[in-house]
Amino acid sequence: MPKDKTATEPTQTTLPFPSTDEEHLDISTLETWLLDAANTIRGASDAPKFKDFILPLIFYKRLSDVFDDEFAKQIEEFGSEELAREIVEADHEDALKSGRNPIVRFYIPPEYHWKALRNHAADGHLGEFVTEAMREVARLNPLLQGVLDVKDFNESQSGQRTLDEERLEALIGVLSRHRLGLQDTEPDILGRAYEYLLRKFAEGQGQSAGEFYTPKEVGWLMAKLITPEPYTTIYDPACGSGGLLIKPRLLFQQTHPDDKSQAPQIYGQELTPTTYAMAKMNAFLHDFIGADIQIGDTFRNPRFVEKSSSLQRFDYVVANPMWNQKEYDEAFYENDNWSRFSDGTAPSSSADWGWVQHILASLKKDGRAAIVLDTGAVSRGSGSKQTNRERDIREKFVERDLVEGVVLLPENLFYNTTAPGIILLLNRNKPTERKAQILLINLSQYFEKGKPKNILTDEGIETATEVYQAWESREKLSNIITLEDAQKTDYNLSPSQFVDVGDKVEHRPVDEILADLTEARIAREKADKALGDVLARLGLNEQH
């Protein structure tokens, strides 16, 4: 289908210098634009199916535009595009060999630049060319391996292209409307727009969305509960698309705007290749180039290890592992090579407390963690006369004074369930005033109704952060319990049983109730007599 491509692509041979007076793209414009691009493929209802095509293209557009901005500076410095390209290419090769940072973050050769994608006709080979471009750029930039080169844009199913040429061309066309260079949008704004798109995809994917997306409001609450300090490390062993790692880092930047060099380092591991790629893209789009994201099964092959039998330890852990995993049997826990499960073997029906023990083993001696789990993780087995593995592990955590708090979330926030979920707070070294105490927070009422999911309110985030930092009991919100209180409930740490959020029922004295009933009986008898007198005068008694 013919179209005018000159409206979005410059025709000159030399690269345009970035404009200093061009307005930054704001978050609303970016969100609308990216969602429009996603919907171009088939429509709003089908766009989530194609997220693995859409997200790499957005990322590739950013890479190309940033390269243009950085390359333009080299042209200005060296006087010609030809000389600048020779220097940039030589520098890039030398930087890879020496391990130093190159003068441009990621090198994009001209034959695979975004403009080459944009001007390539949908002639049956566009998908093949896009795949080739991304794989070559990943080869030239090792940091992008496993990020750009994971999707085949030419793939077919049952002899039919998954994403046909016309729709791929249309998607590239829509994404070409705006620049995503250094002068066009701040990394944080672009990253937020990317996460907005992830949320939209999650809304369309239902149950499977839980693999890659935790609602951003829950992520911000967790970030505020840990509030990272300068020069620290943050780890997520089941990082999905990276949102839980990115938000504490963003919070630090908001509270320490002049201390970028002191920002926490982030580390994550993700099992699924496409989700791993999303996490890497997410970090890069936020300009967190140094984020260390690894791929693999954290339980079977943890990638962050110091020795053959010792896990790397971090200042903070944030995580939302898959709830109630059933993939690990008793033999797996007993034969663990990293001594992670010394507090007990989780049942084969749920790996929740296996994850909690892995996270504990990944914390430094004064480390803290915020872990999203199924609500049942803090109550299952309590009150039962039978032996229960989860309850027994929970008892050990409480008795060792490792549990700092539990936050009950509203229902229907998460895409893989309507259950409310909790945030379990661990602290390896509680302050003296908090020892032998646990703070329980009930946020079950702090939500706005949404479609398809509810949304945790800003008030809920701020209120929970307040009471946690102040360490206080507050009516209908929080309660500080002691070790003895936990023992009395057989280590059931569910906030709902300690924090009543309903209106209090006031019971009247029994004698007042009886007096009112007597008065009502007398009044009824008088009314019956009056009605009988009226009926008698009308001669209707017998008929009645």
Q: For 171-182, what is the mean pLDDT? A: 95
Per-residue pLDDT, averaged over 43-65, amounts to: 91
Distances (CA, A) of 306 to 212, 294, 309, 317: 27, 15, 8, 17
At 514 the pLDDT is 67
pLDDT band at 506 (very low <50, low <70, confident <90, very high): low
What is the rounded average pLDDT for all residues in the chain?
A: 90
Q: How far apart are CA 528 and CA 147, in angstroms?
A: 84
Does 543 score more than 70 pLDDT?
no
The one-letter amino acid at 407: V
The structural domains of the chain, with segments of one domain joined by +, span: 27-185, 215-497, 508-544
215-497: CATH architecture: 3-Layer(aba) Sandwich (3.40)
Name the 3-class secondary structure at 336: coil
Position 497 confidence tier, pLDDT thresholds 50, 70, 90: very high
Confidence grade of residue 510 (pLDDT, cut at 50, 70, 90): low
Q: pLDDT tens across 8-50, in order?
A: 333 333 333 333 334 579 999 999 999 999 999 877 778 888 9
Average pLDDT on 213-234 reads 97
Q: What is the pLDDT of residue 204?
A: 84
pLDDT 10s digits, 85-114: 999 999 999 999 998 999 999 999 999 999
pLDDT at 387: 87
In the chain the first and final C-alpha atoms are separated, in Å, by: 87
Query: Confidence class of residue 124 from pLDDT cuts 50, 70 and 90?
Result: confident
Query: Are 30 and 193 spatial neighbours (Cβ–Cβ below 8 Å)?
Result: yes
- For residue 261, pLDDT over 90 is answered with no
Q: What was the pLDDT predicted at 314? A: 98
Is residue 276's pLDDT more than 60? yes
Q: Helix (H, G, I), strand (E, B), or coil: what is residue 14?
A: coil
Q: How far apart are CA 180 and CA 220, in angstroms?
A: 26
Please tell me whether residue 275 adopts helix, strand or coil conformation: helix
**CA–CA–CA angle 277, 283, 285 (5° rounding):** 100
Percentage of the chain surpassing pLDDT 90?
Answer: 77
Higher pLDDT, 527 or 223: 223
Annotate 23-61 with b (16+ C-beta within 10 A) or e (fewer): eebebeebbebbbebbbbbeeeeebbbbbbbbbbbbbbb
pLDDT of residue 172: 96
Its CATH architecture, for the domain 27-185, is Up-down Bundle (1.20)
The pLDDT value recorded for residue 505 is 47
d(CA 430, CA 412): 32
Q: Does 227 have pLDDT greater than 80?
A: yes
pLDDT for position 525? 77
Give me the pLDDT at residue 11, please.
Answer: 32
The CB-side HSE value for 493 (13 A sphere, CA atoms) comes to 34
Answer yes or no: is pLDDT of 5 > 60: no
pLDDT of residue 402 exceeding 70, the answer is yes
Percent of residues, the chain, with pLDDT higher than 70: 92
Report the pLDDT averaged over residues 495-515.
73
Q: Is the peptide bond before 431 cis (omega within 30 degrees of 0)?
A: no
